[in-house]
Structure 1
């Protein structure tokens, strides 16, 4: 029984990026639904759901092993348990909806209730430590190319969590009846038509965004950690800056030019190194830029930051990463012994910069872009800039899944998103989530993108996660109503 649960759960995860094998999710949810019918006791059902969730999240997070291997000499003991350990924390969130949905009669009402509760459990992951909403179920619709562009357009209204509800409901209803499958066919035809129309008729604000040169140095994580190749990495990014800015100016016309270095792009403390800033300014030849760098304050606390440099190399603004990665950048307080040799301090919160050349930009660092409904500071920017160091993940599903979150945030907020990653994947999206260009994993180069204008605030941007919550609440109400009709 346990082996079957683990295997089916892992199989269901094949629907997530980057494989998008959508039938796997439908088969996995069918298995869970059948467990609610066939389990002889609540305990047996809970075990089915737990081990299903364990298999699902272990495969979905298998890339975590790559992060541990970068410091295997210190954390060798964690190599076999990194992904299963995180899955162990997340698996109970599969148990709760499966147990509760058994309160509804078998059939349509139970399927709707399971889809709604599955989505609510997915959304609850923001409350685990600093939050871990990685791989929401709705990301299964982010297929490459035009198909994905069309399917993710409803995120502008209901967010990725609303898409999670639709994905789970579809995966269950397809097994219900012939009439349900006809309904789904009509529903998806309307969905595709509406998505195509929205893509073809965007409403853009009269805002001119800059031309950005996104830099990807392809610096190995071991070199970043050891600082052994710090000088070579710095020289490489100076060269890429010079080349990228020159290329950007060829297409800029009357636009400003901005360059982006990734997270940890500068191998030191940039705010304390005036000579390095002068060299960067010389390479940038008068362009403004955003550079990922560590920072130290007067109390000797360290931050993971991104800094805006003006044309002379002076620091015009600093953003400190506010949402840190549990077990990666900070250690939860309940652990009584020290796991991390160094811990970072969280910043004050999301910000919007209003600066010459950059315009209205929302800076973010890596992990922060995965939080649906929580990527905008006190005022709305005209574009989002995410600097990240996905070298930790290796050439695995990790960088692809991370990039999918950037694409989804673009649709949800109606804003272009530019992401500079150290080893990849560096890319940019317009305000509809359409990819404007990318650099592949493991390739040192610059990517020049003329960022398009933003769209007006979307429905989701105005109301946030309250909309998928309402959608799930409606699903629960409908399931209860249909259940009473059956009894």
Structure 2
């Protein structure tokens, strides 16, 4: 078998990519990248031509995707009677598409000879490929190596701190550069040790900045409703009663604002005065930030956040604008319908990031729903900057897999990047209050039903990344590619 693998660079690329997925949440086995990244670069160098190099990059990305995105099949299994035929294809097809982005840095690396120049080009091009992944074909910014550092506890808190300046993309760039250091032997290992030490030292010092809480106590309601939902009237009524009972328990614990997860309300709160009256009978004028579907017209449904404070019409609404392809809508270029029946023809997207203000007793907050939290640099309105971020989601569709845990890791990074506390409320977990440094102040685990009441942390001053946003990774990618090309080709000329 070993001889066969030795003579099969494509299979080796696939296996090295699959191994790299062990660095992702929730495993966080980052040392595997010290073997996987150098192996990819060696395979790239050994490739006899550009075509073979492209295949090596693709197979590496395919392995990374298959091991890191296996959980994508879970929602299909909830409607297996309809979409059974998709089960064997979902993860491979998505992984095959995402793997195309890995071809970019591999081909770029071949533009310069082996050495420092190649590493710089490879790292910059890897960053550029991640940026393309966020924006092309509806965008799917997942499996970024910067999230590897969202390790639970103190260690993760420390290593997430540079994200306040360079974002998850910058963490990815540092990860690629450091992972390639074993190629330089002892000198590379010395650079690796000093690099990690400097990174950790910076993070430790940044965590010494004082952080305090506001007076507002927020309540996270985690009802743990089953997915797919039971739409029979008895089930809807039972779910409604559970939400009301849990909201009442939150008030008894001093909550000044109550948050429900994505699409939790069984009724259309924005247009149902009876439901709002029943809710107000329990919560009074305490603001409720509720995940609820919203009907604008008989053909226009929105996945929304509806803010109520009494029986009157809602104080504010927010419509999700980054919809999940194949889950919430069908891309026009797909000729067949393969979204869940509960969605009908699909949701209508909102207009973009929004700050919700003028809610009595509640600081202005940026609203995000589920999948939107993974889009770094695109989740809040920086021209109307909020004091905190609310992220409601329903990860129950993905079961007890890596998916919900990877989603949670992304949420921690958004808090650090923006310098804002983030309150994440998930139907079945992980729900948490996260401070502006990415520290988990309080949380409820996966597959748990409960109420969490905690003080909302204060925001920090505007971070460098919040101020400059995605211009930072664009400039980093361009700078490292240019530096690598200049250095690599200068060395090539001097060796002639």
Equivalent residue number for residue 353 of structure 1 = 356
Instruction: Provide the residue aligned with 1:188 in structure 2.
Output: 196
* SS of residue in 1 equivalent to 2:104: helix
2:35 corresponds to 1:35:
no
CA distance in 1, matches of 2:189, 2:36: 18
Q: Does residue 1:446 correspond to 2:445, yes or no?
A: no
Q: CA deviation at 1:313?
A: 5.6
Q: Look up the SS of the partner of 1:223 in the other structure.
A: coil
1:134 alignment partner in structure 2:
142
Equivalence for 1:430: 435
- Of 173-182 and 50-59, deviating more is 173-182
Q: CA deviation at 1:308?
A: 0.3
Aligned partner of 1:239 in structure 2 is 245
Distance 2:368 2:146 in 1: 22
- Deviation of the 1:71 alpha carbon: 1.2
Aligned partners of 1:267 and 1:293 also within 8 Å: yes
CA shift, 1:291, in A, is 0.5
Question: Which residue of 2 is the match for residue 162 of structure 1?
Answer: 170
**8 Å contact from structure 1 (residues 353, 360) kept in 2:** yes
Please report how far the alpha carbon of residue 439 of structure 1 lies from its aligned counterpart in structure 2 after TM superposition: 0.6
Task: Normalising by structure 1, report the TM-score.
Answer: 0.95
1:344 to 344, 347, 351: 347
Q: Give the direction of change, closer, same or farther, for the CA distance of 1:237–1:193 in structure 2 (3 Å limit).
A: same
Q: CA deviation at 1:179?
A: 1.8
Shift, 1:224, TM fit: 4.8
| Counterpart Cα distance in 1 of 2:222 and 2:211 | 32
Match of 1:254 in 2: none
Do structure 1's residue 62 and structure 2's residue 62 form an aligned pair?
no
2:389 counterpart residue number: 384
Which residue of structure 1 lines up, in the alignment, with residue 400 of structure 2? 395
Aligned to 1:414: 419
Where does residue 253 of structure 1 map in the other structure?
none
How many residues in Structure 1 have an aligned counterpart in Structure 2?
478
Q: In the aligned structure 2, how far is the partner of 1:393 from the partner of 1:48?
A: 30
- Structure 1 window deviating more from structure 2 (296-305 vs 59-68): it is 296-305
What's the CA shift for 1:357?
2.1
Structure 1 residue 125 corresponds to structure 2 residue 129: no
Q: 1:88–1:228: structure 2 CA closer, same or farther, 3 Å change rule?
A: farther
Q: Which runs of 4+ in 1 moved over 3 A?
A: 224-228, 311-314
What's the TM-score, normalizing by structure 2? 0.93
**1:277 match:** 276
Instruction: Describe the SS at the equivalent of 2:338.
Output: coil
Partner of 2:5: none
129-138 or 446-455: bigger deviation: 129-138
Contact 1:363 1:384 in 2 (8 A): yes
Paired residue for 1:322?
321
Cα shift at 1:226: 6.4
Q: Is the 8 A contact 2:163 2:171 kept in 1?
A: yes
More displaced, 123-132 or 67-76? 123-132
Tell me whether 1:172 sits opposite 2:160 in the alignment: no
Tell me by how many angstroms 1:96 deviates: 1.6
* Matches of 2:228 and 2:362, distance apart in 1: 32
3-state secondary structure, aligned to 2:457: coil
Q: Is the 8 A contact 1:210 1:451 kept in 2?
A: yes
Alpha-carbon displacement from aligned partner over 1:129-187 (angstroms, at most 9, x marks no partner): 32110221111111111111010100000000011100111111133232222123222
Match among 9, 20, 26 for residue 34 of structure 2: 26
User: 2:50 & 2:272 partners in 1: Cα distance?
Assistant: 62
Q: Which moved further from structure 2: 38-47 or 392-401?
A: 38-47
37-46 or 379-388: which moved more?
Answer: 37-46
> 1:225 and 1:81, CA in 2 relative to 1: closer, same or farther beyond 3 A?
farther
The whole-number CA distance in structure 1 between the counterparts of 2:17 and 2:77 is 25
Secondary structure (helix, strand or coil) at the match of 2:361 reads coil
Are the aligned partners of 2:276 and 2:310 in contact in 1 as well (CA < 8 Å)?
A: no
CA distance in 1, matches of 2:114, 2:26: 33
Change (3 A) 1:169 1:349: same
Q: Matched residue of 1:451: which SS?
A: strand
Q: Deviations over 1:432-470 (max 9, x none)?
A: 111011111111101111011100110000000111222
TM superposition shift of 1:225 = 6.1
User: What's 1:362 paired with?
Assistant: 366
Distance of 2:312 and 2:194 partners within structure 1:
57
Q: Residue in 1 aligned with 2:3? A: none
The equivalent residue for 2:409 is: 404
How many angstroms apart in 1 are the aligned matches of 2:311 and 2:66? 48
Contact (CA 8 Å) 1:387, 1:420: kept in 2 or not?
A: yes
Give the match's secondary structure for 2:364: strand
1:253-264 aligned at under 5 Å gives the runs 257-264=256-263
Q: 1:5 aligns with which of 1, 4, 13?
A: 13
After superposition, the CA RMSD in angstroms is 1.7
Contact 2:13 2:43 in 1 (8 A): no
- For structure 2, the 5+ residue unaligned runs are 1-7
**What CA distance in whole angstroms lies between the structure 1 residues aligned with 2:312 and 2:258?**
13
